[in-house]
């Protein structure tokens, strides 16, 4: 009986082994053709300018097996090995080298590539090159890797407690926040580039000061720290420049502020006879929130473009005193539905107990300005029903509005709803590009008098005083416009 049992068990074991052998024999064959060549979704993985020590976003490409049979890639490795600033990940395995990777017939796998460039104290941009080398059936192929990098100054939750200068020799990168402490001044040199990480703020505390000293040839640039082409016109990449309540004597000249949440927030005026902020010859655009947010402050602006924001381009709230001359306030936001107007004026707020607090709008004066956009109404005059001081005046302005301007002393010599013929408003290109523009020669020369800067030239340096009258807005019409500005 035992012999019969052993015989049956042995027979079953043999049958199992035969079945397994047969199953294995049906496995997809391996293509060993030495002429086989892999296909790739790209021949070069390119990383645009990246900051040293900071990894870029991950780039992805695919490897394709052109054969109907499975293949074995005997090795995948970085040409520079462990010394390379690049790393790759194949099927969840991160390394500089992987051996014997199988790909089924007519199948593909993803390769994820990342780069970190170490600082070398060089001020000039540097280039890092490498390649991922694939060996299949002794056939060698590669995908090239290219990254542009640059050393930078980095600030993370920093407090500046001395007078400090942002030089233009290399970028300045802010993480979380950088605050200028009371009684100190942050000066920004012409040509400096300030890059703020997601959600990051530049804060100017009470009795502290920001001085941005750009020039027409070398403006100061504030933008995010993602410089790949995809992020070139993505809004909301960083927080805001925040002039705290009580900050003093802030000045910004020739700056480009773009792709954040709020361009500039200027809070209640401080202990100074000068305005909290004087901003001139500057562009603020593509903000997911507000371009300039004034809250009960004193602010002067001249030769500025503030446009294309998810909320208001300019919001002057909680009262205050404001003077805008030869500014273009435009809003052609197209990333989402915009419910707000290009310009908001307001003289109250609700406190923590939900009680109304009136704040005097001492003055909001707009001379030779454009307030325009793609909505029927681009001006909100939000005076509280209980009244309060609410003084405003528009003089020789082009307005997009449904307000009745006839006989209205608050709107002197203003033009309503006529076409400005902007060059490309969707890209914040607000130059008039034809003599048909309602902006041309419609300004008042008296607006140039007593401005805090010389307004005889426009934002691009063109004369306003060589023809019949200045044009409305930040730009003077030119027969031959310069090449389009890249963002």
* Helices and strands in the chain: count of H runs, count of E runs: 1, 42
Q: Which two tokens stand for residue 123?
A: 């001020």
Could you tell me if 56 and 159 lie in one domain? no
52 has a pLDDT exceeding 80: no
Asked if the structure places residue 461 within a domain, the reply is no
Could you tell me if 302 and 276 lie in one domain? yes
Beta bridge partners of 92: none
Residue 17 belongs to what H/E stretch?
A: helix 2-25
- Tell me the backbone φ, ψ of residue 412, rounded to 5 degrees: -90, 120
pLDDT in tens, 289-335: 999 999 999 999 999 999 999 999 999 999 999 999 999 999 999 99
Could you tell me if 87 and 163 lie in one domain? no
Q: Is the dihedral of CA 346, 351, 355, 360 positive or negative?
A: negative
Could you tell me if 157 and 217 lie in one domain? yes
Asked if the structure places residue 479 within a domain, the reply is no
pLDDT in tens, 243-278: 999 999 999 999 999 999 999 999 998 888 999 999
Range of the domain at 99: 39-149
Q: What is the mean pLDDT of residues 163-180?
A: 96
pLDDT in tens, 357-410: 999 999 999 999 999 999 999 999 999 999 999 999 999 999 999 999 998 999
Among 149, 178, 211, give the residue marking a domain's end.
Answer: 149
Per-residue pLDDT at 123: 62
Could you tell me if 130 and 235 lie in one domain? no
CA contacts within 13 A on the Cβ side of 381: 15
Asked if the structure places residue 15 within a domain, the reply is no
485 has a pLDDT exceeding 90: no
Could you tell me if 133 and 254 lie in one domain? no
Backbone dihedral region for residue 318 (phi beyond 0: left; psi -120 to 50: alpha; all else: beta): left
Q: Which two tokens stand for residue 392?
A: 């405003």
Per-residue pLDDT at 95: 83
Q: Give the DSSP letter string of 65-81.
A: --SSSBEEEEEEEETTG
| Beta-strand runs (E) in 137-208 | 139-150, 153-160, 164-166, 172-180, 185-188, 193-196, 201-204
DSSP state of 385: T
How many CB atoms within 10 Å of residue 446? 11
Could you tell me if 395 and 384 lie in one domain? yes
CA 39 to chain centre: 36
Asked if the structure places residue 317 within a domain, the reply is yes
Residue among 266, 268, 305, 267 nearest 286 (CA): 305
Per-residue pLDDT at 16: 53
Minimum mean pLDDT among 18-27, 417-426, 449-458: which range?
18-27
Could you tell me if 63 and 180 lie in one domain? no
The angle subtended at Cα 365 by Cα 363 and Cα 369, nearest 5°, is 160
Q: Which two tokens stand for residue 328?
A: 């273009």
Per-residue pLDDT at 206: 96
For tokens 């593909």, the residue is 108
463 has a pLDDT exceeding 60: yes
Radius of gyration (C-alpha) of the chain in whole angstroms: 31
Among 414, 430, 448, give the residue marking a domain's end.
Answer: 448
Distance CA 117, CA 115 (A): 6
How many CB atoms within 10 Å of residue 207? 18
Minimum mean pLDDT among 2-11, 39-48, 136-145, 477-486: which range?
2-11
- DSSP SS3 for 82: helix
Q: Which two tokens stand for residue 336?
A: 């989402």
Per-residue pLDDT at 156: 92
Asked if the structure places residue 106 within a domain, the reply is yes
Asked if the structure places residue 27 within a domain, the reply is no
Asked if the structure places residue 434 within a domain, the reply is yes
Among 98, 132, 149, give the residue marking a domain's end.
Answer: 149
Beta bridge partners of 60: 112
Local confidence band at 25 (pLDDT 50, 70, 90 cut-offs): very low
Could you tell me if 166 and 141 lie in one domain? no
Could you tell me if 288 and 359 lie in one domain? yes
Asked if the structure places residue 487 within a domain, the reply is no
Residue among 309, 305, 319, 365 nearest 342 (CA): 309
Could you tell me if 301 and 244 lie in one domain? yes
CA distances from 355 to 118, 260, 349, 350 (A): 55, 32, 8, 5
Q: What is the mean pLDDT of residues 232-241?
A: 96
Average pLDDT over the chain, rounded to an integer: 91
CATH number (domain holding residue 161):
2.160.20
Could you tell me if 115 and 91 lie in one domain? yes
Backbone dihedral region for residue 357 (phi beyond 0: left; psi -120 to 50: alpha; all else: beta): beta
For tokens 């976003």, the residue is 57
Q: Count of domains in the chain?
A: 2
């Amino acid at each position: 009986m035992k012999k019969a049992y052993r015989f049956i068990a042995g027979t079953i074991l043999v049958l199992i082994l035969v079945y397994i052998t047969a199953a294995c024999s049906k496995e997809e064959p391996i293509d060993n053709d030495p002429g086989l060549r892999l296909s790739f979704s790209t021949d070069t993985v390119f990383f645009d300018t990246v900051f040293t020590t900071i990894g870029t976003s991950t780039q992805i490409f695919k490897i394709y097996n052109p054969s109907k049979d499975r293949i074995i890639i005997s090795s995948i490795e970085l040409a520079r090995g462990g010394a390379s600033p690049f790393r790759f990940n194949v099927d969840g395995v991160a390394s500089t080298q992987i051996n014997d990777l199988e790909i089924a017939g007519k199948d593909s796998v993803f390769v994820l590539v990342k780069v970190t460039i170490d600082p070398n104290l060089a001020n000039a941009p540097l280039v890092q090159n490498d390649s991922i080398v694939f060996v299949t059936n002794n056939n060698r192929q590669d995908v090239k890797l290219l990254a542009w990098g640059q050393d930078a100054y980095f600030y993370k939750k920093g407090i500046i407690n001395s007078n400090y200068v942002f030089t233009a020799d290399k970028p300045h990168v802010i993480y979380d926040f950088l605050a200028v402490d009371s009684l100190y001044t942050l000066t920004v040199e012409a040509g400096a580039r300030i890059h703020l990480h997601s959600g990051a703020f530049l804060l100017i505390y009470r009795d502290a000061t920001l001085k941005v000293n750009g020039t027409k040839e070398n403006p100061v640039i504030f933008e995010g720290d993602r410089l790949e082409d995809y992020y070139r016109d993505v809004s909301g990449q960083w927080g805001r420049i925040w002039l705290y309540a009580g900050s003093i004597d802030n000045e910004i000249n020739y700056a480009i502020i773009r792709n954040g949440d709020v361009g500039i927030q200027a809070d209640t005026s401080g202990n100074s006879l000068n305005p909290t902020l004087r901003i001139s010859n500057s562009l603020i655009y593509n903000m997911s929130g507000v371009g300039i947010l004034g809250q009960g402050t004193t602010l002067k602006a001249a030769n500025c473009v503030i446009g294309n924001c998810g909320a208001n381009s300019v919001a002057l709230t909680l009262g205050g005193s404001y003077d805008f001359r030869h500014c273009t306030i435009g809003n052609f936001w197209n990333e989402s539905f915009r419910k707000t107007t290009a310009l908001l004026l307001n003289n109250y707020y609700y406190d923590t107990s939900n009680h109304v607090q009136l704040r005097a709008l001492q003055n909001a004066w707009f001379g030779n300005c454009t307030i325009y956009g793609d909505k029927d109404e681009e001006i909100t005059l939000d005076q509280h029903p209980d009244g309060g001081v609410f003084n405003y005046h528009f003089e020789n302005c082009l307005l997009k509005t449904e307000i009745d301007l006839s006989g209205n002393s608050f709107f002197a010599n203003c033009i309503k709803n006529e076409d400005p013929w902007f060059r490309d408003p969707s890209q914040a290109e607000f130059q008039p590009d034809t003599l048909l523009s309602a902006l041309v020669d419609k300004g008042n020369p008296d607006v140039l008098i007593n401005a805090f800067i010389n307004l005889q030239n426009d934002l691009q340096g063109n004369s306003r005083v060589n023809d019949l009258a200045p044009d409305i807005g930040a730009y003077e019409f030119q027969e031959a416009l310069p090449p389009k500005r890249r963002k």
